[in-house]
Amino acid sequence: GAGVSQSPRYKVAKRGQDVALRCDPISGHVSLFWYQQALGQGPEFLTYFQNEAQLDKSGLPSDRFFAERPEGSVSTLKIQRTQQEDSAVYLCASSLAVSKSSYNEQFFGPGTRLTVL
Amino acid sequence: AQSVTQPDIHITVSEGASLELRCNYSYGATPYLFWYVQSPGQGLQLLLKYFSGDTLVQGIKGFEAEFKRSQSSFNLRKPSVHWSDAAEYFCAVGPHSTDSWGKLQFGAGTQVVVTP
Protein backbone atom coordinates (compact mmCIF):
# COMPACT_ATOMS: atom_id res chain seq x y z
CA GLY A 1 0.00 0.00 0.00
CA ALA A 2 0.97 3.61 -0.48
CA GLY A 3 0.03 4.87 2.98
CA VAL A 4 1.58 4.82 6.43
CA SER A 5 1.16 1.44 8.06
CA GLN A 6 1.36 0.53 11.72
CA SER A 7 1.54 -2.77 13.51
CA PRO A 8 0.08 -4.25 15.49
CA ARG A 9 -3.28 -2.52 15.15
CA TYR A 10 -4.26 -3.66 18.64
CA LYS A 11 -2.09 -4.59 21.59
CA VAL A 12 -3.11 -5.74 25.03
CA ALA A 13 -0.37 -5.75 27.65
CA LYS A 14 -0.27 -6.57 31.30
CA ARG A 15 1.02 -3.81 33.51
CA GLY A 16 4.78 -4.01 33.70
CA GLN A 17 5.27 -5.60 30.29
CA ASP A 18 7.36 -4.02 27.56
CA VAL A 19 5.76 -3.29 24.18
CA ALA A 20 7.10 -2.32 20.77
CA LEU A 21 4.99 -0.53 18.19
CA ARG A 22 6.08 -0.37 14.58
CA CYS A 23 5.57 2.30 11.95
CA ASP A 24 6.27 1.98 8.23
CA PRO A 25 6.22 5.44 6.68
CA ILE A 26 5.45 6.30 3.10
CA SER A 27 8.44 5.47 0.95
CA GLY A 28 10.72 8.47 0.50
CA HIS A 29 9.30 10.44 3.40
CA VAL A 30 12.07 12.06 5.36
CA SER A 31 10.17 13.07 8.47
CA LEU A 32 8.39 10.72 10.86
CA PHE A 33 6.26 11.63 13.86
CA TRP A 34 4.72 9.81 16.80
CA TYR A 35 1.61 11.03 18.61
CA GLN A 36 -0.37 9.66 21.54
CA GLN A 37 -4.15 9.97 21.49
CA ALA A 38 -5.98 9.28 24.73
CA LEU A 39 -9.66 8.43 24.63
CA GLY A 40 -11.74 11.49 23.82
CA GLN A 41 -8.70 13.70 23.27
CA GLY A 42 -6.75 15.08 20.37
CA PRO A 43 -3.39 13.62 19.45
CA GLU A 44 -0.45 14.75 21.58
CA PHE A 45 3.00 15.05 20.05
CA LEU A 46 5.59 12.59 21.32
CA THR A 47 8.64 12.77 19.09
CA TYR A 48 9.87 13.38 15.57
CA PHE A 49 12.65 12.18 13.30
CA GLN A 50 14.29 13.62 10.26
CA ASN A 51 15.83 10.59 8.55
CA GLU A 52 17.49 8.68 11.40
CA ALA A 53 18.02 11.73 13.60
CA GLN A 54 15.60 12.25 16.46
CA LEU A 55 15.23 16.03 16.40
CA ASP A 56 12.59 16.46 19.08
CA LYS A 57 11.60 14.08 21.86
CA SER A 58 10.12 16.69 24.14
CA GLY A 59 6.70 15.02 24.17
CA LEU A 60 7.81 11.64 25.49
CA PRO A 61 6.03 11.40 28.86
CA SER A 62 8.73 9.51 30.72
CA ASP A 63 12.00 7.70 30.31
CA ARG A 64 10.00 4.51 29.84
CA PHE A 65 9.24 5.71 26.32
CA PHE A 66 11.88 5.29 23.67
CA ALA A 67 11.72 5.72 19.90
CA GLU A 68 14.19 4.85 17.20
CA ARG A 69 14.55 4.98 13.44
CA PRO A 70 17.95 3.46 12.84
CA GLU A 71 17.98 3.41 9.04
CA GLY A 72 15.83 6.42 8.43
CA SER A 73 12.80 4.41 7.36
CA VAL A 74 10.87 2.13 9.73
CA SER A 75 10.45 3.41 13.26
CA THR A 76 9.72 1.64 16.53
CA LEU A 77 8.18 3.16 19.63
CA LYS A 78 9.04 1.14 22.71
CA ILE A 79 7.34 1.45 26.05
CA GLN A 80 8.99 -0.25 28.99
CA ARG A 81 7.19 -1.39 32.12
CA THR A 82 3.80 -0.33 30.80
CA GLN A 83 1.36 1.39 33.12
CA GLN A 84 -2.41 1.77 32.85
CA GLU A 85 -2.04 5.44 31.98
CA ASP A 86 -0.15 4.39 28.83
CA SER A 87 -3.41 3.06 27.37
CA ALA A 88 -4.07 5.10 24.25
CA VAL A 89 -3.93 5.05 20.48
CA TYR A 90 -0.42 5.65 19.20
CA LEU A 91 -0.38 7.39 15.83
CA CYS A 92 2.49 7.55 13.42
CA ALA A 93 2.74 10.13 10.64
CA SER A 94 5.24 10.84 7.90
CA SER A 95 5.94 13.70 5.56
CA LEU A 96 8.31 14.63 2.77
CA ALA A 97 10.15 17.22 4.82
CA VAL A 98 9.62 19.61 7.65
CA SER A 99 11.78 22.70 7.88
CA LYS A 100 11.50 26.45 7.85
CA SER A 101 11.62 26.44 4.06
CA SER A 102 9.44 23.42 3.48
CA TYR A 103 6.49 22.36 5.59
CA ASN A 104 4.67 19.42 4.03
CA GLU A 105 1.52 17.61 4.99
CA GLN A 106 1.79 14.88 7.60
CA PHE A 107 0.13 11.64 6.50
CA PHE A 108 -1.17 9.56 9.37
CA GLY A 109 -1.35 5.83 9.84
CA PRO A 110 -4.39 4.07 11.36
CA GLY A 111 -2.76 3.86 14.77
CA THR A 112 -2.07 1.14 17.32
CA ARG A 113 -4.57 0.87 20.14
CA LEU A 114 -2.70 -0.10 23.31
CA THR A 115 -4.63 -1.36 26.30
CA VAL A 116 -2.72 -1.95 29.53
CA LEU A 117 -4.51 -4.14 32.04
CA ALA B 1 1.43 28.94 26.63
CA GLN B 2 0.37 28.03 23.12
CA SER B 3 -3.03 26.42 22.86
CA VAL B 4 -5.71 25.25 20.46
CA THR B 5 -9.35 25.33 21.54
CA GLN B 6 -12.32 23.66 19.94
CA PRO B 7 -15.23 24.92 22.03
CA ASP B 8 -17.77 22.39 20.78
CA ILE B 9 -17.23 18.82 21.92
CA HIS B 10 -20.22 17.48 20.04
CA ILE B 11 -22.42 18.83 17.22
CA THR B 12 -25.52 17.26 15.73
CA VAL B 13 -26.59 18.42 12.28
CA SER B 14 -29.25 17.30 9.82
CA GLU B 15 -28.20 15.95 6.48
CA GLY B 16 -28.25 18.77 3.96
CA ALA B 17 -27.84 21.47 6.57
CA SER B 18 -24.78 23.67 6.91
CA LEU B 19 -22.01 22.95 9.36
CA GLU B 20 -19.54 25.23 11.13
CA LEU B 21 -16.87 24.00 13.51
CA ARG B 22 -15.00 26.50 15.63
CA CYS B 23 -11.29 26.66 16.33
CA ASN B 24 -9.39 29.27 18.31
CA TYR B 25 -5.68 29.35 18.85
CA SER B 26 -3.27 31.17 21.07
CA TYR B 27 0.11 31.72 19.48
CA GLY B 28 2.74 34.42 19.40
CA ALA B 29 2.48 34.85 15.66
CA THR B 30 0.44 33.46 12.81
CA PRO B 31 0.96 29.72 12.89
CA TYR B 32 0.32 27.18 10.22
CA LEU B 33 -3.28 25.98 10.61
CA PHE B 34 -4.85 22.66 9.70
CA TRP B 35 -8.12 20.80 9.88
CA TYR B 36 -8.07 16.99 10.04
CA VAL B 37 -10.92 14.49 10.02
CA GLN B 38 -10.86 11.12 11.78
CA SER B 39 -13.39 8.42 10.99
CA PRO B 40 -13.70 5.34 13.23
CA GLY B 41 -10.80 3.01 12.68
CA GLN B 42 -9.19 5.39 10.20
CA GLY B 43 -6.15 7.57 10.40
CA LEU B 44 -6.34 11.32 10.42
CA GLN B 45 -6.95 12.82 6.99
CA LEU B 46 -6.04 16.38 6.12
CA LEU B 47 -9.03 18.44 4.97
CA LEU B 48 -7.24 21.73 4.39
CA LYS B 49 -4.40 23.93 5.54
CA TYR B 50 -3.51 27.59 5.82
CA PHE B 51 0.04 28.88 5.65
CA SER B 52 -0.35 32.41 4.32
CA GLY B 53 -2.14 34.43 1.66
CA ASP B 54 -5.86 34.25 0.97
CA THR B 55 -7.62 33.80 4.29
CA LEU B 56 -10.39 31.64 2.82
CA VAL B 57 -9.05 28.23 1.95
CA GLN B 58 -10.77 25.42 0.12
CA GLY B 59 -10.24 21.82 1.00
CA ILE B 60 -11.37 18.36 0.07
CA LYS B 61 -14.88 16.98 0.41
CA GLY B 62 -16.44 20.43 -0.04
CA PHE B 63 -14.99 21.93 3.14
CA GLU B 64 -13.62 25.44 3.50
CA ALA B 65 -12.09 27.39 6.37
CA GLU B 66 -11.53 31.05 7.06
CA PHE B 67 -8.57 32.46 8.96
CA LYS B 68 -9.41 35.54 11.00
CA ARG B 69 -6.34 37.05 12.58
CA SER B 70 -8.28 39.53 14.70
CA GLN B 71 -10.23 36.70 16.31
CA SER B 72 -7.41 34.13 16.36
CA SER B 73 -9.85 31.76 14.71
CA PHE B 74 -9.82 29.23 11.90
CA ASN B 75 -13.38 27.96 11.59
CA LEU B 76 -14.33 25.09 9.31
CA ARG B 77 -17.51 25.19 7.23
CA LYS B 78 -19.47 23.06 4.83
CA PRO B 79 -22.62 24.36 3.13
CA SER B 80 -24.46 21.04 2.98
CA VAL B 81 -23.42 18.01 5.00
CA HIS B 82 -23.69 14.42 3.87
CA TRP B 83 -24.17 11.41 6.13
CA SER B 84 -20.57 10.43 5.35
CA ASP B 85 -19.34 13.60 7.06
CA ALA B 86 -20.12 12.06 10.46
CA ALA B 87 -16.69 11.85 12.10
CA GLU B 88 -14.41 13.62 14.54
CA TYR B 89 -12.77 16.81 13.40
CA PHE B 90 -9.54 18.19 14.75
CA CYS B 91 -8.03 21.62 14.39
CA ALA B 92 -4.25 21.74 14.59
CA VAL B 93 -1.53 24.34 14.56
CA GLY B 94 2.06 24.00 13.41
CA PRO B 95 5.09 25.76 14.80
CA HIS B 96 6.14 29.23 13.78
CA SER B 97 9.62 29.11 15.23
CA THR B 98 12.67 27.05 14.53
CA ASP B 99 12.69 25.16 17.81
CA SER B 100 10.61 22.34 16.47
CA TRP B 101 9.27 22.31 12.95
CA GLY B 102 7.85 18.83 13.38
CA LYS B 103 5.36 19.45 16.11
CA LEU B 104 1.63 19.75 15.48
CA GLN B 105 -0.60 20.77 18.37
CA PHE B 106 -4.16 19.49 18.16
CA GLY B 107 -7.39 20.62 19.70
CA ALA B 108 -9.53 18.16 21.65
CA GLY B 109 -11.76 17.55 18.66
CA THR B 110 -15.43 18.02 17.74
CA GLN B 111 -17.61 14.96 17.20
CA VAL B 112 -20.11 15.52 14.37
CA VAL B 113 -23.27 13.45 14.20
CA VAL B 114 -25.41 13.65 11.06
CA THR B 115 -29.11 12.85 11.36
CA PRO B 116 -31.41 11.92 8.45
Pairing status of strand A10-13 against strand A112-116: parallel
Nearest to B11 by CA among B70, B86, B75: B86
* Whether B40 contacts chain A with CB within 8 A: no
In A14-85, the DSSP E strands lie at: 19-24, 31-37, 44-50, 53-56, 65-68, 75-79
Residue A16 pLDDT grade (very low, low, confident, very high; cuts 50, 70, 90):
very high
Please report, for residues A44, B26, B28, B38, B54, the alpha-carbon distance to residue A37 in angstroms, rounded to integers and kept in the order given.
6, 21, 25, 12, 32
Burial class (CB in 10 A: 0-12, 13-18, 19+), B53: exposed
Rounded Cα gap, residues B36 and B57, in angstroms: 14
Residue A105 to residue B107, Cβ atoms within 8 A: no
Q: Which pLDDT belongs to residue A101?
A: 64
Contacts of B82 (CB under 8 A, 6+ apart): B15, B114
Residue of chain A with shortest Cα separation from B96? A100
In B1-72, the DSSP E strands lie at: 3-5, 10-14, 19-21, 24-26, 32-38, 44-50, 56-58, 64-68
Q: Which pLDDT belongs to residue A100?
A: 64
Residue of chain A with shortest Cα separation from B48? A105
Residue A41 to residue B92, Cβ atoms within 8 A: no
Pairing status of strand B87-94 against strand B32-38: antiparallel
Residue A102 pLDDT > 70: no
Q: Are B57 and B46 in contact (CB under 8 A)?
A: no
Predicted confidence pLDDT, tens digits, chain B (116 residues): 678 999 999 999 999 999 999 999 987 777 889 999 999 877 899 999 998 888 999 999 999 999 999 999 999 999 999 999 999 999 999 875 555 667 889 999 999 999 99
Q: Which pLDDT belongs to residue B98?
A: 57
